[in-house]
Amino acid sequence: MRLGEERISMFSPHRAPEWRWLRANWFREKRETSITSQTDEGVEAAFHFCKELKSCKKQSDFDRLYFKHPDEYHAISFWVEHVANIMTLPEADRPTIQARRRHAAIEAYLLSGIGHDVIASKLGITPNAVGVYENWFFDFRAYINSPLIISTLYVRGDVAGTSSCNFDHLLRLYGWKYGAQVVDELLTGTTYSEKLQTALRNDQMLHLTKNSAILARGPDCHPAVVFEATSRAIELHDRLRQSEIEAGKAFESEEKTAWINDIKEDMAKGHWCVVEIPKGAEKQANPIEHRLAVQLGYEEAPATDGINKG
């Protein structure tokens, strides 16, 4: 059911991440002279800035806008307008790979949960500029615990893997699921930690297997193709496990590994002691066990031949 312009509604959980910017531009296009009736200060600030931005005609106009609103100017430099099919745009208007990567990076860092000051140092801007970007273009915090909303709106791509998913979508997803360090590694593209390598490998196997199951339920896929794809995925996983064991990696669960480590730490702290068995103890073991069994009634007492040895 249509519930008005949900993308720009401040009351809709399905609003766009950049709903404040879209709403401000909607008011500008309606030629509103004032939006003081709005209860959201972010919408009002974006409205006034986008009016000044649209009035810029030459480079000197943009320079004056920068000196007047440096944080807002930096924030919007990371924004890339969503286009359903980028190839429909004139080549001069298409966002460059650098622009798309900046756009994905700031949103991936925000999803990772690190502070604005840390993000600012990584991106070369001020913490206030990061705050403006989040307020105008990436209002995500109310839904950070909603996998449905984050994965469909804020990652900006089909991360389930059943449709197209590019590197920028993956960057946001990994920022959300694994943190800022993984975003750093993906952006540098040189050295990947074991944590990131494991995540990438698991993604490959899980999505191949899952997509094979989806195809198997469809009417247009031959079962032999599904079986072959699934077999290949399982074979890749088994070979990975085999190589890890051959390389000396313990084939144990995380719980068991943690339990063993706890025992090692306790022993190192001296909480465990070694008891030495006295010499001759083994010879005395059988008589002692027999005497205890007699006392407990499990065995009969030996005959004394009527002699009371007291």
Q: What is the pLDDT of residue 281?
A: 63
Which two tokens mark 156? 């900006």
- Kind and range of the H or E element at 231? helix 223-246
Phi-psi region of 170 (alpha: psi -120 to 50; beta: other; left: phi over 0): alpha
Domain ranges for the chain: 6-84+94-191, 199-271
Residue type for position 292 = L
Four-residue CA torsion sign, 113, 119, 122, 123: positive
Residue 279 DSSP class: T
For the chain, list the strands marked E by DSSP. none
- Per-residue exposure over 232-263, b if at least 16 CB sit within 10 Å of its own CB, e if not: ebeeebeeeeeeeeeeeeeeeeeeeeeeeeee
| Rounded-to-integer distance, Cα 177 and Cα 130, Å | 21
In whole angstroms, what is the distance from residue 36 CA to residue 41 CA? 9
CA dist., res. 280 & res. 111, Å (int) = 68
Distance of alpha carbon 148 from alpha carbon 181, whole angstroms? 24
Q: How far apart are CA 135 and CA 46, in angstroms?
A: 9
Structure confidence at residue 309 (pLDDT): 47
SS3 121: helix
* 160 conformational bin, left if phi > 0, alpha if psi -120 to 50, beta if neither: alpha
- Residue in the structure block whose two tokens are 């190589």: 243
> In 3D, which of 190, 179, 196 has the Cα closest to residue 109?
179
Cβ(163)–Cβ(152) under 8 Å?
A: no
Q: What is the pLDDT of residue 283?
A: 66
Number of other residues whose CB lies within 10 A of the CB of residue 127:
15
Q: Do residues 161 and 210 touch, judged by C-beta distance below 8 A?
A: yes
Q: Give the Å distances, CA to CA, from 16 to 21, 119, 168, 177.
A: 10, 22, 18, 21
Q: Can you give the pLDDT of all 310 residues of the chain as single tens digits?
A: 466 678 888 888 889 999 999 999 888 887 665 565 566 889 999 999 999 999 999 999 999 999 999 999 999 999 998 765 555 666 667 788 899 999 999 999 999 999 999 999 999 999 999 999 999 999 999 999 999 899 888 998 877 766 777 889 999 999 999 999 999 999 998 889 888 988 888 888 788 777 777 777 777 666 677 677 777 777 777 787 777 777 766 656 666 777 777 777 777 776 555 556 666 666 666 777 777 777 767 677 776 555 544 4
